[in-house]
Amino acid sequence: EINAWCMPGGKIAVYTGILPVTKDEAGLATVMGHEVAHAIAQHSAERASQMQAAQVGGALVGAASSNSKYADYINQAYGIGGQLTILKYGRNQELEADKMGLSFMAMAGYNPNTAIGFWQRMAQASAGSQKPPAFLSTHPTDQSRIAQIQRDLPEAMKYYKK
């Protein structure tokens, strides 16, 4: 499987299937920088808090609308809206991890410009797979991710020493 992820508590899992896509040390530094960024930013804890807040909100909406003849519609609308908000937040976390990861790989001595090639290879590797519409995904589209990384590169390059 072509994947890597950060577990709650900061442990990082890298599947061997991603290694051909990384191609070299700089590609692996892109992956590791991204996953370390998730750990440092505590994205898994943020996500858990968000899910808990959504559940509490759902219970409150359910209680407040219980006497309404539109209770089912209100609860469904809340559920859909809450889920879409959480998904967007996940995409923002991914972009934040990309940005931080570029700086981390630069600090480790890897040229952040090489991250573009890695993400292009990731896009090619997943080109045939089924992807949900962008608004239903926890990850940004390949094109938007690469475009944002290109915008973030000048900041990361400040940390790169040849």
Of the residues 25, 35, 94, 96, which is catalytic? 35
> Cα-Cα-Cα-Cα dihedral of 146, 147, 151, 157, to 10°?
20
User: 144: closest CA among 83, 86, 91?
Assistant: 91
Residue 144 in tokens: 């938007």
CB-CB contact of 149 with 116 (8 Å) = yes
Chain-centroid distance, C-alpha 107: 21
Residue 123 in tokens: 């896009």
- Residue 35 known to be catalytic: yes
Catalytically annotated residues: 35
